Amino acid sequence: MLDFVECIAKEAGSLILDAFDKPPSFHEKVSYADLVTDTDQQVEELIKTNIHKKYPSHKIIAEESASGRSTLTSEPTWIIDPIDGTSNFVSKFPFCAVSIGYFKDKQAQCAVVFNPISNHMFLAERGKGAFMNGKKLSVSPCIDLHNALILTDWGGDRNAANLDTKAANIRRLISEARGSTIRRLTCVHGEK
């Protein structure tokens, strides 16, 4: 199954890579920070088509075509984010990826996250571990928040109440951690 998902991710990554240097065509979904591009939709369709060909009875929960909240059931289900980091993609910031996960009985079975711009392929399979470009990954030995590096993102939901909650949580975490990288605050990237 993991080989199948990896092949789909590579094919989807080719679409993302081809579109990366072109002017993006996009619109807002819920807010100015929650975008969808034509490439998102093309990549999602490619992934869904491949899954339906091989596994016609499987359910799919896909970011761009999901209407409202989707519920994960015990049925075999694929969860897709065609371009995880669409705002980065639109801004030509090279941190975006295609993300595909497969669940059965509400348990993750395998997943792939592929950044075609940096050519980083992350693979994980239940009981077999996680890998980046073929190299086995291990869990950090860090068990104390004071020694942790924290990365966060504000997400696309920018209503005032949610932003206040997120800011309070970030403030609490970074006051206890050794270092933090808050991408939305610290990354400065100019348009090409």
Residue with tokens 């990896």: 6
Determine whether the annotation assigns residue 3 to a binding site. Answer: no
Q: What are phi and psi of 10, to 5 degrees?
A: -65, -45
Q: Looking up tokens 């999602």, which residue turns up?
A: 44
Which alpha helices (H) appear in the chain, and where do they start and end?
2-20, 38-54, 86-90, 160-176, 183-186
Q: Are strands 149-152 and 179-182 parallel, antiparallel or unpaired?
A: parallel
Residue 34 among known ligand-binding residues: no
Q: Is residue 63 part of an annotated ligand binding site? A: yes
Measured in whole angstroms, the distance separating CA 33 from the mean position of its chain's CA atoms is: 15
| Residue 187 structure tokens | 């990354």
170 has binding-site annotation: no
Residue at token pair 């399979």: 125
Listed residue (152, 149, 183, 146) closest to 166, CA to CA: 152
Report d(CA 147, CA 179) in Å as an integer: 8
Binding site feature residues for Mg(2+): 63, 81, 83-84
Binding site feature residues: 63, 81, 83-84
